[in-house]
Amino acid sequence: MFIEAIIIGLVIVFFTGGRFDNFSEVEIKGWPTIILGIGLELSVILFSQYTFSQYLQLTGMILVILVVALNFKVKGFLLLFVGGFLNLSAVLLNDLKMPVNLIGGQSDTMRSFMDTVLEGDVINYMVDSAGGWTDLLGKIITTPLWYPFPRLLSVGDLVITLGILFFVIGESQRKHFHRKSKMVHYSYRNRI
């Protein structure tokens, strides 16, 4: 849903006459740390057979949330923080695994994913068998059948998606400025 939020945001920017050149001057403090954190979160794909991959994913989530917290002034980053915190809470409260709702995965498109979760092949997901309130933070929402990319989403994922959408639209509507002035500066002072 995150890539779709960026695409939808760019389409809205195009039709509302937003400024695409503002994206070249986005100032996010610590943006390389966000890339590092996302890389650590995605490293679960490569190291799924090892237990330490859960800690890599947790470290990545914490890094991204910390950098997002440093950039609350940027439009949409408060929502990114809230959504990230909800997902982090779900993982921390459930033995470093994201709970997945069995009922949501009953559609034909999600059946193979749910089978791998039930077999324990996906190290960072677990079936929400306990039924507690922490399971509400897990992957409980399915995309509609007409949606071309079937997914299970958490409440945190939806909030992050909204944050990305607000960020893209907000940056396009920001007043245009240049970091360094292109004005002529004189090096002398008036001696009156």
Q: How many domains does the chain have?
A: 1
Query: Is residue 103 domain-resident?
Result: yes
Query: Is residue 76 domain-resident?
Result: yes
Q: Looking up tokens 């007409």, which residue turns up?
A: 146
Query: Is residue 137 domain-resident?
Result: yes
Give 15-35 pLDDT, tens digit per residue: 988 888 888 888 889 989 999
- What are residue 99's phi and psi, to 5 degrees? -70, 140
Residue 158 banded pLDDT, cuts 50, 70, 90: very high
Q: CA end-to-end span of the chain, whole Å?
A: 64
Q: Can you name the residues that pair with 8 across neighbouring β-strands?
A: none
Q: 113 to each of 66, 97, 119, how far by Cα in Å?
A: 31, 15, 10
Query: Is residue 188 domain-resident?
Result: no
Residue 115: give the domain boundaries. Answer: 2-173
Residue 148 banded pLDDT, cuts 50, 70, 90: confident
